[in-house]
Structures are given as structure tokens and as C-alpha cells.
Chains A and B, each alone.
Chain A
Amino acid sequence: MKITNIFFFLIAVLFAGSCLKDKGNYNYKVLPDFLVDTSGTQTRFEVYQSKDKITIRPSIVYKGNQDELKGLWRLYVSAGVFDTLSRKTAIDTIISRPPGTYTLEFEALAPSGLKALMQYTVVVLSPISSGWMVAYEKGGNTDVDIIRAPEFIPGVRDTVYRAAYSVINGPMPGKPVSIFYTSANLAHIFTSATGVTVQNTDFRRAQSWSQLFFGTGPESVKPEGFYPGSFNSAILINKGEVYWSDNNLFVGKITADVNGYEAAPFIYPQYGKQGGFYDQKNMRFLTIEQQSSKAGFYPNADASAKFNLNNVGKNLLWIERGFGQNANPVDVYKYAFFKDVSGPGRYLYVINTQTPARPDIAAIDISAIPEIIDARFFEVGNLGPAGFYSTSASVYFFQIDATGNKISTPMKGFQAPAGEEITSMRLLKGIGTFGVNAVLTDDSKYMFVATWNEQSQSGKVYLMSVNVTSGAINPAPLRIWTVAGKIGDMQYKRS
């Protein structure tokens, strides 16, 4: 009985003990107010990339000397990645991150170690959208204007971003050689003295000439042509040599055989290859294989063919993809203008590179057409059999009848005003996108003709509309813009 009593007593003590409040052994203090007061202030900001400053002076509630506070501004780019923009309590800076919505975090730090946090939303807008890039020379340097007009970009106002390159990067030496939209991120610009890539969104330089090459680049800087290849690659022709790229770096130089080669400044796309080019030295076409610096060769054509890709025997004036294609594999026809090595002969070849034994879709002698001997620029449409050539004063159009192996009589579609000399002619085409078959809805419908007036030292860009089938150029320009220099190349930037 006694033991039972002790047992119940112990139980009772345990019950009583469980009621005791655990106060712990910490010291508690009431902290002073320390916060970022955002009532009535702006917490969402929109800025143009690399252009506008973001300026925030947060109102900090703090009982103590405000000067002893430290700040930290961080722009969150992606998970675990942020830019530290400032270590002051106010921010006044340019955001150069690509367009998108970012979280900007402000942290105020008191000497006691206390922190106050605030998050803002920053929307970075693209300062430069799609548009027609016009590369021109002014004072020995190259600059770029970007033209937007409702004819080729639906719904926009007629606008021109002036001097888009130099505004953000400073001058680029040399005369323009080639400008190309290469990917959604980058455009390439080459001049007679250098080459760069720029971000499409703000035209900020991404790579300088030496940064374009893996290892040692070419011995001499002499860019002659540049084109996007078929497989997300970019191809550069520098001093007759062909360089191919991998992940935006030129990693390889094409080597052909013991005969060597001297590349004409044009690259064409081809199914299953990075592209192809014409070897002026040995008068043959060579291909750029995938992921290899070893040039590919076309087999000789049948005796009945009108020409042989492996031995053309003529000088190339111009080549580009055009209308019509090989069925299987799908590969667009290439249109090439040739001239005799000596003499006035001029030729238009329509080439199917998938059937090298019979590559001759057409081989037309065009020696007799007007002013062809003085032709400086050439174009063909993607949507129809339209062809164009330009002298320094006139643009002619014609229609190609590949089956009949003839062309229609060329008609003059544009005449440069007195004092103006044509310095570039380009169709807005889908050539700049990857893959060999990209034909876009705005393809081949608009022609841009650039002129230069030596006397008034001013350039002009004429926007002409074109019939995709007949090539007929509407003689009244849709728009005319004035540009500050002599235009060397133009191309469409799609984003």
C-alpha cells in the first residue's frame, strides 16, 4: 500500500512538472523600426537596355544616423545569378542586361547587422528592334542606321535609329564590307579594317575582331564576304580564305587540296553542308562540310551537261540561293552570274547542287542584255523567277525561264537621280535565317537601292516594291531616307 502511494505521488509530481512554462534562456529585445517605406512610391520600372538610367532613392525608416547605413543593389538574372549594381543606398545606373523582366533587390545594412529588404521589378526593353540595317562609311569609319517602315514591318511608324553602332561602341574603322543578322542574338559587321558581332537588342559590341577567332586568327585583316551557313554556322571570307564557326567562334579555315583555292566573296547554302563557295583560282565550286575544315568536291558533270561544277572555266560575279528547288532532299537552286575570263561574255547559271552529274537547270548566255557589262550588283527572288542587276545608275529586272533556258528582255526599274551613284542593291530575303529552305512571308517583295551623291556628300536609301514573279519594280519609290554616309551593305535584322 505504501509503495502504491509513493508511485501515485511520483506521478503527481510529473504531472505538475509538465505544467511548468519553459522560458528558455534567451534575451529578448524590442528592435527599433528599420524598413524601406514604399507607400506611394514606384516599385516597377521600365528602362531601355543600355540606354536609360534606373534611378531609385528608397525612403528608409531608421532611428539613427542614416549615413551609417550601407546599401546593396542586386539585379537577379537567373537562379543563383545576379549583378551587383551598387553598394550605395540610392541607385542611378544603366542596365545593360538583355530585354526581359528582372527583380532588383535593395538591401540596407545597419552597423548592428540588421537588414531591411525591398524588391523592385525592372522591365528591360529592347532599344533597337527589327529593321533594315544600313552600313555606311563616314570619315573612314563604318556606322549603321536601322530603318523601320510599315511596308515591311506591319504596324510600325517610319523610324530610323541613327548611328546605332557608334552611339554605344564608338567608331568602327574601315569601309563597310558586309552586315548580317546571324542569329536571334547576334549580328555580324565586317569592314575593310575589322569585324565585330553586336547584340541585336542594343547593338552593343559582343566580340571584337580578335575575339571572333579561336586561337590565332588570319595573318591579315581583309574581310571580303560573310554569310550565315546552313547549320547555325557563320562563314567568313578573309583574303580569299574561308573560315567557319562553331558557337560564334571561327574555329577552322577551309583547306581544299594541293591546288589551293581563292574564294570568291560569296557563300551559298546547301543541304547537308555548311555551305559552298566558288574557287576563283581553279574555277570550281567547293563545299564546306559539317564540323570539318576539309573542303568537299563535286564529282564531274556528265558530258551532256551545260557546265561542270568541278570546272566551270569562268569568273564568278555573284551567287545566291533563288527560286525553285531539288525535290529530295529539298535543296534550293543556286543562281550564279559568271563572266568570261577575258571578253564580254556574261552568263546566268541556275544550279542544282544535289545532282552534280546534271547540275544545269539553266545556263543562259546574257551577254547581249542592256548594260550587263557594267553590272555591279545582282539579285534573284526566292518566291518567283525574278532576276535583277544594277549598274551605277540603273536597276534592271527580268524573268528567268529555266525550262526554256532564256530570260525575258530586262526592263529598267529604277534610275538613280542625276549626281547619285548606286552603291548597293538588296532584296529583303529570307537568306539570313538558318536552314536552306527558309522563305518568309515578306520574302523578295521589297528592294532597297542605296545611292551616294559625291557632291552633296549624302547617301540615300530607296525602298521599291517588287513583283515576286515577274520582278517588275514599281517605279515610284515607296519611301526614301537620307543616310549620313556612303552605303556599302544592307541587310534585314529580324529581331
Chain B
Amino acid sequence: MKTLHILFFIIVFFAATIACRKNKLDPAFRSEARISLTANEADGARADSIVFTFAIWPSSLVDTQINLYAQVMGNLVDRERAFKVEVDTSSTAKTDEYEYPKNLVVPPGNYRVAIPVKIKRSARLVNAQAKLKLNIVPNDNFLPGPRVSTGLVNSGPSYSIIWSDQLTKPAFWDQVGVGMLWTVGKWSKVKHQLIIDATGIRNFQDLTTADKYYIASKSLEYLNAYNAGHPGNPMKNENGLVIDICSQCD
């Protein structure tokens, strides 16, 4: 009887002690730290690249800076961690057409750092495009991050900057609800230049419907005045097609 009582109280005692222990979950990310490259949507980045053209800027602009971002996956740490990028072999930019910092570090306690890439307006870009694709190189601190393509801008082990000195088709031009296709029509270099000449508006991103109606109206007026001044020789695009300003037209 006595032994039974003692046994009972011992069990209860132990059970009670265990019940009082705080259950600590392990908060740690128990995997290798990784680092991904990405860019800002607001800077014009879409999917896996950011496109820039010098053509819409005055010729006094000889270079500009585009920021890519390195984003850490894993725990924040209290020490500086170096990471490394290299130029992908598929890049078409010449080595003197860009500069980027060679010693890249993630400062203590940080998870996102900018990589300022200076791109240059070289003469050949009037007729060509330069593409700089940067890859994350694995080192002691980081492995390359996985490719994530949810949303408008991807992040992943590589990211590209594409630039030229010619008007390039904005990535959102044909995008439903956002693009210009339904107000001014199909994109062409000539039409792009016409819109800039007619309205002075260079950036077609995040425009309201009223903005687009206004741009279409001003551009149409400009085109009509040009065509009236060139009888029998209406404005044509770089592919030789007569251009117009209307929904989905050339």
C-alpha cells in the first residue's frame, strides 16, 4: 500500500515537473544559406530582366546606374558575408560597356543589398542590344537561390540587364489593362518615337486610362499633321508598314 502511494506520488511529481517545462520550438532555419538576384518592379524589371534604353534620354547621358538586388535566404547573422557574382557566357555586352563592384558583401544583420551596375552608352548600341547576365557563384557563405517566378519580377540564381540606344518595346506594352496596345496600337520604333515627339511623355508605365486616351489623341493629331504634310507618303514603321494610332493597329 505504502509503496503504491510513493510510486503514485513520484509519477505525479515527474509528470507535474514535465508539464511545467516550456515547449521551445526550434526557430532556426536549418539549411544552407542561399542568395538570389532580383530587381525592382518600379525600375522597370519584369520576369528575369530589366530593360533600359538610352534612346529616350538626351545624348549628354553617357552612362547610368541600374540596381540589381541580392536577396538572402536563411538566418540573419552578425558578421559580414561576402558573395560572388560572375558574368554568364551568354552575355552580349562588351566588358568596357559595364562596371559592377567586385567585392560584394552582405553587411551584418542584412538580408538585401543593392548591386549598382553602371551601364554605358556605347556607339554600337544604336543598332545593337547589350545584355549582361549575372550569375551567383557558390562560395563558403552562400549557395545560389532557387528560381522564384511568382509575381511580375523573378528572383533566382541569375538576373539580366538589357540595354541599347534604340527604342525598345516596353515589356508591358501588350499587357491587358496596363499596356498601350488598345489605345495606340502595335509597338514599333517609329510609333514610339512619334509618341515621344507628340506628347513628350517617355514613360508609359502605370498610366491611367485618361493618360492613354490623351496620348492616343495627341499622337493621332501629330501623325495626321505629318501625313497631311507628306502627301502620298504616310509615316511608315521600320518594317515599311504604314502606321496608324488605333486599337491593335500597326
Decide: B246 and A251 in contact? CB cutoff 8 A.
no
Nearest-CB residue, chain B, relative to A291: B213
Q: How large is the interface on B (under 10, 10 to 19, 20 to 34, 35 or more residues)?
A: 20 to 34
List of B residues within 8 angstroms of A453 by Cβ:
none
Verify if B245 is at the interface (C-beta below 8 Å from A). yes
Decide: A294 and B246 in contact? CB cutoff 8 A.
yes
Decide: A251 and B214 in contact? CB cutoff 8 A.
yes
Decide: B210 and A293 in contact? CB cutoff 8 A.
no
Decide: A293 and B217 in contact? CB cutoff 8 A.
yes
Verify if A299 is at the interface (C-beta below 8 Å from B). no
- Rounded to whole Å, the gap between the CB of A250 and the closest CB of chain B is 9
Decide: B220 and A293 in contact? CB cutoff 8 A.
yes
Verify if B22 is at the interface (C-beta below 8 Å from A). no
Interface stretch, picked from B84-92, B167-175, B224-232, is: B224-232
Residue interface mask A236-261, B partner, CB < 8 A = 1:
00000000001101011101111010
Verify if A482 is at the interface (C-beta below 8 Å from B). no
Contact for A249 among B210, B220, B228, CB less than 8 A: B210
Nearest-CB residue, chain A, relative to B213: A251
Decide: A292 and B247 in contact? CB cutoff 8 A.
yes
Decide: A3 and B213 in contact? CB cutoff 8 A.
no
In the complex, A249 Cα to B217 Cα: how many Å? Answer: 13
List of B residues within 8 angstroms of A253 by Cβ:
217, 221
Verify if A481 is at the interface (C-beta below 8 Å from B). no
Verify if B112 is at the interface (C-beta below 8 Å from A). no
Residue interface mask B201-243, A partner, CB < 8 A = 1:
0000000011101101110110010011001000000000000
- Rounded to whole Å, the gap between the CB of B12 and the closest CB of chain A is 10
Nearest-CB residue, chain B, relative to A254: B217
In the complex, A257 Cα to B245 Cα: how many Å? Answer: 12
Verify if B100 is at the interface (C-beta below 8 Å from A). no
Decide: B216 and A252 in contact? CB cutoff 8 A.
yes
Nearest-CB residue, chain A, relative to B234: A258
Decide: B214 and A3 in contact? CB cutoff 8 A.
no
List of A residues within 8 angstroms of B246 by Cβ:
292, 294
Verify if B5 is at the interface (C-beta below 8 Å from A). yes
Decide: A3 and B9 in contact? CB cutoff 8 A.
yes
Decide: A3 and B210 in contact? CB cutoff 8 A.
no
Nearest-CB residue, chain B, relative to A292: B246
Residue interface mask A132-157, B partner, CB < 8 A = 1:
00000000000000000000000000
For the A-B complex, the count of residue pairs with Cβ-Cβ distances under 8 Å equals 51
- Rounded to whole Å, the gap between the CB of A210 and the closest CB of chain B is 14
Decide: A258 and B213 in contact? CB cutoff 8 A.
no
- Rounded to whole Å, the gap between the CB of B176 and the closest CB of chain A is 15
- Rounded to whole Å, the gap between the CB of B205 and the closest CB of chain A is 18
Nearest-CB residue, chain B, relative to A7: B9
Decide: B210 and A258 in contact? CB cutoff 8 A.
no
- Rounded to whole Å, the gap between the CB of A342 and the closest CB of chain B is 28
Decide: A293 and B213 in contact? CB cutoff 8 A.
yes
Decide: B210 and A257 in contact? CB cutoff 8 A.
no
Contact for A252 among B213, B224, B227, B244, CB less than 8 A: B213
Decide: B5 and A3 in contact? CB cutoff 8 A.
yes
List of B residues within 8 angstroms of A3 by Cβ:
5-6, 9
Decide: B245 and A294 in contact? CB cutoff 8 A.
yes
List of B residues within 8 angstroms of A4 by Cβ:
5
In the complex, A357 Cα to B211 Cα: how many Å? Answer: 37
Most central of B213, B216, B246 by chain A CB within 10 Å? B213
Decide: B209 and A246 in contact? CB cutoff 8 A.
yes
In the complex, A292 Cα to B214 Cα: how many Å? Answer: 10
Q: Which of B1-33 contact A (CB under 8 A)?
A: 5-6, 9
In the complex, A292 Cα to B209 Cα: how many Å? Answer: 12
Decide: A255 and B220 in contact? CB cutoff 8 A.
yes
List of A residues within 8 angstroms of B221 by Cβ:
253, 255, 293
Nearest-CB residue, chain A, relative to B212: A251
List of B residues within 8 angstroms of A260 by Cβ:
228
Q: Which of A179-214 contact B (CB under 8 A)?
A: 214
Verify if A419 is at the interface (C-beta below 8 Å from B). no
With A3-B5, A3-B9 known as contacts, the answer to whether A255 contacts B217 (CB < 8 A) is: yes
In the complex, A214 Cα to B5 Cα: how many Å? Answer: 91
Decide: A294 and B227 in contact? CB cutoff 8 A.
no
In the complex, A215 Cα to B228 Cα: how many Å? Answer: 24
In the complex, A255 Cα to B5 Cα: how many Å? Answer: 102
Decide: B5 and A258 in contact? CB cutoff 8 A.
no
With A255-B221, A258-B231, A260-B228 known as contacts, the answer to whether A292 contacts B210 (CB < 8 A) is: no
Decide: A251 and B210 in contact? CB cutoff 8 A.
yes
With A255-B221, A258-B224 known as contacts, the answer to whether A246 contacts B245 (CB < 8 A) is: no
List of B residues within 8 angstroms of A258 by Cβ:
224, 227-228, 231
Decide: A215 and B218 in contact? CB cutoff 8 A.
yes
Decide: A293 and B228 in contact? CB cutoff 8 A.
no
- Rounded to whole Å, the gap between the CB of B124 and the closest CB of chain A is 37
In the complex, A214 Cα to B211 Cα: how many Å? Answer: 8
List of B residues within 8 angstroms of A249 by Cβ:
210
Nearest-CB residue, chain B, relative to A3: B5
Residue interface mask A277-292, B partner, CB < 8 A = 1:
0000000000000011
Decide: B224 and A257 in contact? CB cutoff 8 A.
yes
List of A residues within 8 angstroms of B224 by Cβ:
255-258
Residue interface mask A214-235, B partner, CB < 8 A = 1:
1100000000000000000000
Nearest-CB residue, chain B, relative to A294: B246
With A3-B9, A257-B224 known as contacts, the answer to whether A247 contacts B217 (CB < 8 A) is: no
Nearest-CB residue, chain A, relative to B218: A215
List of A residues within 8 angstroms of B245 by Cβ:
293-294
- Rounded to whole Å, the gap between the CB of B142 and the closest CB of chain A is 45
In the complex, A253 Cα to B217 Cα: how many Å? Answer: 6
Q: Which of B176-204 contact A (CB under 8 A)?
A: 183
Most central of B183, B216, B217, B247 by chain A CB within 10 Å? B217
A-B contact pairs, 19 of them (CB 8 A): A3-B5, A215-B218, A246-B209, A246-B213, A247-B210, A249-B210, A251-B214, A252-B214, A252-B217, A253-B221, A255-B220, A256-B224, A257-B224, A258-B224, A258-B228, A260-B228, A292-B247, A293-B216, A294-B220
Top 3 nearest A-B pairs (CB, nearest first) are: A252-B217, A251-B213, A293-B217
Having A258-B227, A291-B183, A294-B244, one finds 4 other A-B pairs with CB under 8 Å, namely A4-B5, A214-B211, A247-B210, A260-B228
